[in-house]
Amino acid sequence: MKFSVESWAPEYGVPAQTTEAAQPADAFVEVDMDSWGPMLPDVDPAGEVLFVDGVRRVDANVWIEVPGRAAALGLCAVYAAGAVLCNETAQVVESAVDRGLFTSAPGAEDLVTAHGVYAVRATPGGTPEELWLGIQQRMGELEGRVAAAWSGSAVVVVDGPLSHRRHVAGAVGYIKTQHVQYLPDHLHSTLSGLAAGRRTPLFLIGGGWSRYSWYARLAVGESPLSGIVRCEITADHAIGEAARIADRMTATLPRYSSDAHKDARAPQNLYPIGGLERALRRRLGDPQLMFRALRVASRG
């Protein structure tokens, strides 16, 4: 299979920043309209929490020659997932790394280099956005496998929407960047009035799969929505159990929120997740070494 490597470094590309599609939400599954407002959990924080996250990197953009057709774009990517267990200490207990050639090119083959193999990961489309979504999906699946291996922990927090991790028993999705407004304006305004350690009532999000969700504030910042995160769990729970999980998470997460002088994404980027991301990036290998290896392989 003939291919060439784009001369620009991959960080100069413009991968699409994907967002969740808006889905209908039922805001009155826990309380009625008259009772809708900030809620203060009356529970103790969880003593043990497993945080799961993943990182990814595009090592090179490649062009794959297809007989009788225009060259097809491919992304040579490396991605990793891991878990850090927090009780009285914090310890990385699991990590996994994979590489892939993400492309829609027919007849694409694994790219073998001196320092690693990029196995073909077929995608249904060949646009940069579709290839990036393919990377996100595979990384999410890897996170799901890592989380499932440690799902016996009292609380499992996965960074981002549950999606591919929703089969993990007891998993809670942790969404620190809000791209979609699920609540109507007259309820969404409640978020700016949340004090640290308080949450909104549960609301039910429909669509491809159903989940209970809630907003919580980790810490008060300069802007009205600073420190606001959204959490979600599957709708397989009874509403009372879902409320207890929401209370426990709202009481627990502020303990791990980061400070602005240590993390530019504070307070939403939790310390265990930030530390795990740094540990996982070290496992991705040297990007310049891999880029050179791909250039050499393309000439062979």
- In the predicted structure, residue 22 carries a pLDDT above the cut 70: no
Dihedral sign, CA of 262, 263, 267, 272?
Answer: negative
Report the alpha-carbon distance of residue 19 to residue 29 in Å, rounded.
25
If one counts every other C-beta atom within 10 angstroms of the C-beta of residue 85, the result is 17
Instruction: Please compute the mean of the pLDDT values over residues 95-124 and round it to a whole number.
Output: 96
Which range is least confidently modeled, 38-42, 70-74, 86-90, 149-153? 149-153
- Give per-residue pLDDT as tens, 264-288: 788 888 999 999 999 999 999 999 9
Report the alpha-carbon distance of residue 123 to residue 87 in Å, rounded.
40
Average pLDDT of the chain to the nearest whole number: 88
Which range is least confidently modeled, 102-116, 250-264, 268-282? 250-264
If one counts every other C-beta atom within 10 angstroms of the C-beta of residue 88, the result is 6
Which range is least confidently modeled, 12-21, 155-164, 222-231, 259-268? 12-21
- In the predicted structure, residue 7 carries a pLDDT above the cut 70: no
Instruction: Give the pair of three-digit tokens for residue 32.
Output: 């009625």
- Give the residue carrying structure tokens 């509403």: 239
170 conformational bin, left if phi > 0, alpha if psi -120 to 50, beta if neither: left
Report the alpha-carbon distance of residue 208 to residue 285 in Å, rounded.
36
- Give per-residue pLDDT as tens, 149-168: 877 766 899 999 988 778 88
